[in-house]
Structure 1
Amino acid sequence: MLDLLIHNASLADGRRQMMVAIENGRIAALQENPQRLPAARETVDAGGYLLSTPFIDAHFHLDATLSLGLPRLNQSGTLLEGIKLWGELKPQLTEQALIERSLAYCDWAIARGLLAIRSHVDVCDARLLAVRALLKVREQVAPYLNLQLVAFPQDGLLRSKGALDNLKQALDLGVDVIGGIPHFERTMEEGAQSLRLLCELAAERGLPLDIHCDESDDPNSRHIETLCFYTQQLGLQGKVTASHLTSMHSMDNYYVSKLIPLMVEAGISVIANPLINITLQGRHDSYPKRRGMTRVPELLAAGVPVAFGQDCCMDPWYSLGSADMLDVAHMGLHVAQMTSRAAMRQCFAAVSETPAKILGLNDWGLTTGQCAHLVLLQAADPIEALRLRPARLKVWRSGKLIASQSEACSSLNLPGRPDRVDFHR
């Protein structure tokens, strides 16, 4: 007898009236509804709603989350004031407070059907307090959420005294990925040097790289070119991610026509952060005012994998957020003007299928044999999910229900009109 049977489900690829059979935490069968359903300990009628793999946040800062107002608010709303604020807050951090805020955010994530997060963690504090705290969080949430940690020298690998040693120590403690921020070094030359050191370290340790790269409005911030060079030189193809890349928004088309093929050759993946990029970039512009998000449609057209990240939630950089990756995809769709049916589906994939590949989650997907990590949304398809950001009716981890929500609707009391509205067409 099956453990769980889900039927009458719609899938993100357009298939409808589908049945998913789950046994021992894995997908045992995926097919059209048969005339007679097999026996199962629990049967769920999806009612034609969308059954998807869970959402994935490919770029986040869990060490800073829910710290809004500590030690004060970001009055200018700029990236640089946020970094300054974080520097003021670091000496006041305690391990227990970090753990509590991180776990609270993970609770939000589960409720939203967000079951994997890649979080950057600052290593420029010699105590490595945030690293030790998030390693404990990673262990605690492991039964229900994949948490990857990136050793991130927030204040610059070379600019911050001891950052390289701290980063290596963080890796020794068990951090998963190597991070960097070349555009925040003192000079372009030191930025390039930091990338060489980080790429050499990745090759030496056999670890992936995820670099905050060219998060700037300056079209001459071209560290992505250097990252491509060292990726190829050291044989790191397929292991390197460039996050943000906002300077590409300001580059001329001729240079980008050279740059994107270099990225393809190097096997670079990209993570854009629509909520934060559109909020922090273009701050020095009057009008016309730049949007700031990287060139998502052009990168996708060239075959570069592009995922979306939440980046920040109620922290020194961003006062909003609620762990809803459909909010992120919704903003990405609008900023990049990705309004064709195919492009909107790409935006849904940017918070589900694509980041699974970037993060190396090989046991993740809606195919037979994969772990039964699933979310049932109150929407008919990915485009309706982006429009409504609907209720996550059920969230399963390895076939076990870990979160649920009632269907959302509003009651009406109008003569001659329906008594309820659920916003579905």
Structure 2
Amino acid sequence: MSFDLIIRGGTLPDGTVTDIAITGQTIADIAPNITAEAGEVIEASGKLVSTPFVDPHFHMDATLSYGIPRINASGTLLEGIALWGELREMLTVDAVVDRALQYCSLAVSKGLLAIRSHVDVTHAGLVGVQGLLEVRERVKHVIDLQLVAFPQDGWFRSAGAEANLIRALDMGVDVIGGIPHFERTMQAGADSVRAACELAADRGLMVDLHCDETDDPMSRHIETLAAETLRCGLQGRVAGSHLTSMHSMDNYYVSKLLPLIAEAGVAAIPNPLANIILQGRMETYPKRRGMTRVPEMLAHGIPVGFGQDSMRDPWYPLGTGDMLDVAFMGLHVAQLSSPDQMRSCYHMVTASSAAIMGLDYGLEKGRVASLVVVDAADPIEAIRTRAPRLAVVSKGRVVARNTPVQGTLTTGW
């Protein structure tokens, strides 16, 4: 028997040492010491081999636009939204496509092979939707790009947003989005959650809402989202992104909220890089940490996936496209420092996020052959060093290689 590709001697995230044989786009065998020949062999002895990195929350229509038309001087979320409103009027399909493809090239080099990108549907021209649908088609042989119809200025607050969102779904956008805390009233926010879930139930789609991205402890739309998920029978198809108001909520209320989220099967998508810099801007000291209650969510069995959110755009001036940076920040902000917790941070930028997006990733026979070989012995070392991706395999094909950077000392002791 002969295979197209064999990864030899890699260490899986659970510590198992194995070979992985690939034929076409599929894992044909996974076992120790596969002796068959292959068209190509990657020696991975002592290296971590895992499913690819996954970003469940990003804004690709805005990426790499930092400084256009100006810089976010206050660094706040609200100025970022206002600045995006200015930039949105200047967008062209070509500009969206060019910047997004630049980002996708960077992402692949980092082993990031699945991205859920929110795309603003506020403007009637749906320029971002047109651009990212083109990008999705152009990168589909390498990247699983999932698009969320996102009314940035509010489902009801922005005239025509609901109609635009439905048009975007009809054009082929995958997921229903929303931003209930940005509606004009709490009731309007709750109504937008209800509308999103009912539309998802009617169309058989997933829901991913920007939910309670605020320091206001009374922003409690996640409660409505969980309740509507149960009412509409959407368990396992709904995510609440950000959820930062939970860092300010009363502990007694949260003690009732977390079991409701778990019962509804609603996933949480915190975004540690962006929210640690955006939240708490109106405070002196002490300042809030800018992220939701990740350890408590994990303890309740709530699916959690870390997102990157932004890179070089109106909200976040930095970013590398590396989900290990996201895991590193998330580990620190959520104080996830035990060995099991640190490993969970790697899980939250790989397998957990893939499951939230409904992707069929896994290092098992018969699964899609997408994986990454990391220059580290285990997930903790990978996060600690933000280790290079030595090889990236997408759907059976090696799509990126990186050489470890070696320093040379010119002194002795």
TM-score interval (norm. to shorter): over 0.9
Q: State the shift of 1:33 in Å.
A: 2.6
Of 391, 396, 408, the match for 2:393: 396
Match of 2:139 in 1: 141
Matched residue SS, 2:343: helix
Indicate the RMSD between aligned Cα atoms, in angstroms.
0.9
Q: State the shift of 1:13 in Å.
A: 0.8
Structure 2: segments with no counterpart, 5+ residues: none
Matched residue SS, 1:109: helix
Q: Deviations over 1:212-236 (max 9, x none)?
A: 0000101100001111111111111
1:12 equivalent to 2:20? Answer no
May I ask how many residue pairs the two structures share in their alignment? 412
Matched residue SS, 1:307: coil
Matched residue SS, 2:353: helix
**1:221, 1:415 → 2: CA distance?**
58
1:250–1:292 CA contact under 8 A, matched in 2:
no
Match of 1:232 in 2: 230
Give runs of aligned pairs for residues 174-189 of structure 1, distance below 5 A: 174-189=172-187
Please report the TM-score for the alignment, with normalisation by the length of structure 2.
0.99
Match of 1:89 in 2: 87
1:333 equivalent to 2:331? Answer yes
Give runs of aligned pairs for residues 70-109 of structure 1, distance below 5 A: 70-109=68-107
User: Which amino acid in structure 2 is aligned with residue 49 of structure 1?
Assistant: K
Q: State the shift of 1:306 in Å.
A: 0.2
Q: Deviations over 1:152-179 (max 9, x none)?
A: 0000000000000000000000000000
Matched residue SS, 1:411: coil
Please report the TM-score for the alignment, with normalisation by the length of structure 1.
0.96
Give runs of aligned pairs for residues 135-174 of structure 1, distance below 5 A: 135-174=133-172
Matched residue SS, 1:396: strand
Give runs of aligned pairs for residues 103-142 of structure 1, distance below 5 A: 103-142=101-140
Give runs of aligned pairs for residues 310-325 of structure 1, distance below 5 A: 310-325=308-323
**2:8, 2:46 → 1: CA distance?**
9
Runs (4+) of structure 1 moved beyond 4 Å?
A: none
**2:105, 2:59 → 1: CA distance?**
16
1:410 equivalent to 2:404? Answer no
Structure 1: segments with no counterpart, 5+ residues: 417-425
Matched residue SS, 2:305: strand
2:7–2:42 CA contact under 8 A, matched in 1:
yes
Match of 2:374 in 1: 377
Of 179, 193, 196, the match for 1:195: 193
Shifted more, 55-64 versus 7-16: the winner is 7-16
Q: Deviations over 1:194-252 (max 9, x none)?
A: 11111111111111000000001011000011111111111111111000000000011
**2:82, 2:309 → 1: CA distance?**
17
Q: State the shift of 1:390 in Å.
A: 1.1
Percent identity for Structure 1 against Structure 2: 59
**1:226, 1:47 → 2: CA distance?**
49
Q: State the shift of 1:312 in Å.
A: 0.3
2:141–2:395 CA contact under 8 A, matched in 1:
no
Q: State the shift of 1:107 in Å.
A: 0.3
